[in-house]
Amino acid sequence: MTEDSLRDLYCTCCHVRRAARKLTRMYEAALEPSGLTAMQFAILAAIARNPSAGRVQIAELLDMDTSTLSRGLAPLMREGLVAVADGKIRSGHLELTADGRKTFEAAVPMWQKAQSAVHKALGGTQTKDLHHLLMELPGEAAIAAR
């Protein structure tokens, strides 16, 4: 392979995944005092914003499969931060416990600090453009239909 053909292999997916790893490290460093990972914070935020949602709905909101969500939920439930309203993980709606709400609310300023750092690094217009571009990405079903 030539150097040019190798350079062509460095695709959009590679760039986005690399950027995602950088962003994840930034957010996780900011969230470290809370004891939450970026994924756990996202799960708590989704549950806080959608208090009557079940596991499937939260997974859809976060654009992840239910098994990935279950792996993310397990430590949150073990630590008593998330509970299932009727005790049935498959059918019940997820809710933050009192400790979960307290942990989430304490982590929000940490998340905001990371968010501000990203906005500052990219600039307001570029951040909005990035959000728009990312939200416009087609889902798996749309790609498969082509």
108: domain CATH number?
1.10.10.10
The reply to whether 47 falls in a domain is yes
Q: How far apart are CA 41 and CA 46, in angstroms?
A: 9
Of 79, 91, 22, give the one whose Cα is nearest residue 54: 91
The reply to whether 61 falls in a domain is yes
pLDDT at 115 over 80: yes
pLDDT at 104 over 80: yes
| Concatenated DSSP letters of 78-110 | HTTSEEETTS-TTTSBEEE-HHHHHHHHHHHHH
The reply to whether 8 falls in a domain is no
Q: State the total domains in the chain.
A: 1
The reply to whether 141 falls in a domain is no
Mean pLDDT throughout 3-21? 77
Residue 64 structure tokens: 């992840």
pLDDT band at 146 (very low <50, low <70, confident <90, very high): low
The reply to whether 115 falls in a domain is yes
pLDDT at 124 over 60: yes
Instruction: Compare 103 and 11 and report the one with higher pLDDT.
Output: 103
